[in-house]
Structure 1
């Protein structure tokens, strides 16, 4: 098996892709209120919210354990409704040399679809592919959708 890989998942977003994109690109610090069992915190470490080059500090739960990540915002595209983060510090870098998470929203037949992508490079062959981390992103999406559908 190779050390580099890419995982993707695509989920229908009934609450609307624009809401999802605006939340993750401009106000991610609101996410812990919508998905407290997944994301416990998102703090601005450097820069400004919603700005490429800014650094966010995340507290999240993965496999029942609290973890942290410091991510730099690599790209935000309002037209394509996409955002890309690259982890620069955190628990996952004990397993992965490179760990990037991105998403984009596309509309197909009037249905908004959120596509998550994890790009990674494992430190060695013993490290598993981050399938459970993709599951965390899917749960996060469903929590955000549920929050917005209730509102």
Structure 2
């Protein structure tokens, strides 16, 4: 990733709600050209990671 993209920034924002928490991932990136792929696999990884953390916390209670 470091060598393929000119710039990228990943932000995690969490808000506590009455019935649980809201998680929002923001990925900003700049592709050097049209031949560089989108970061779909990274987004899928972050969604899976968030779900695994949620499952872990649900099973702890």
TM-score by length of 2: 0.80
Alignment partner for residue 128 of structure 1, among 30, 37, 57? 37
User: How far does the alpha carbon of each residue in 1:34-61 deviate from its partner, in whole angstroms, 9 at most, with x for none?
Assistant: xxxxxxxxxxxxxxxxxxxxxxxxxxxx
Where is the helix percentage greater, Structure 1 or Structure 2?
2
The number of residues matched between the two structures is 60
Structure 2: runs of 5+ lacking an equivalent: none
Structure 1: runs of 5+ lacking an equivalent: 1-91
1:107–1:147 Cα change, 3 Å: closer
Secondary structure of the residue that 1:94 maps to in structure 2? coil
Per the alignment, residue 96 of structure 1 pairs with: 5
TM-score by length of 1: 0.36
Shift of residue 111, structure 1, vs aligned partner: 4.1
Are positions 1:147 and 2:56 aligned together?
A: yes
Shift of residue 95, structure 1, vs aligned partner: 1.4
